[in-house]
Amino acid sequence: MSTAQVLFGIALGIVALIITGFALYVASSTMWGDRWYRRKP
């Protein structure tokens, strides 16, 4: 593998982690929102 391929792989991994983390954050925040706000009278 060349240096460019290694850097591209690292960058792709970082982007994937950011997207996954953001998706988990949104999912968890909506779940907590449902738990706290929708069950109140």
Q: pLDDT tens digit string along 15-30?
A: 999 999 999 998 888 7
Mean pLDDT of 9-16: 98
Q: What does the alpha-carbon distance between residue 9 and residue 15 come to, in Å, rounded to a whole number?
A: 10
Amino acid at 7: L
- Express the helix, strand and coil content of the chain in percent, nearest 5 each: 85, 0, 15
Q: What are phi and psi of 39, to 5 degrees?
A: -90, -5
The answer to whether residue 41 scores a pLDDT higher than 70 is no
Q: What would you measure as the largest C-alpha separation in the chain, in angstroms?
A: 61
Q: Give the position of tokens 């060349």.
A: 2
Note the pTM of the prediction, 2 decimals: 0.61
pLDDT score of 10 = 98
Is residue 37 very low, low, confident or very high in pLDDT (cuts 50, 70, 90)?
low
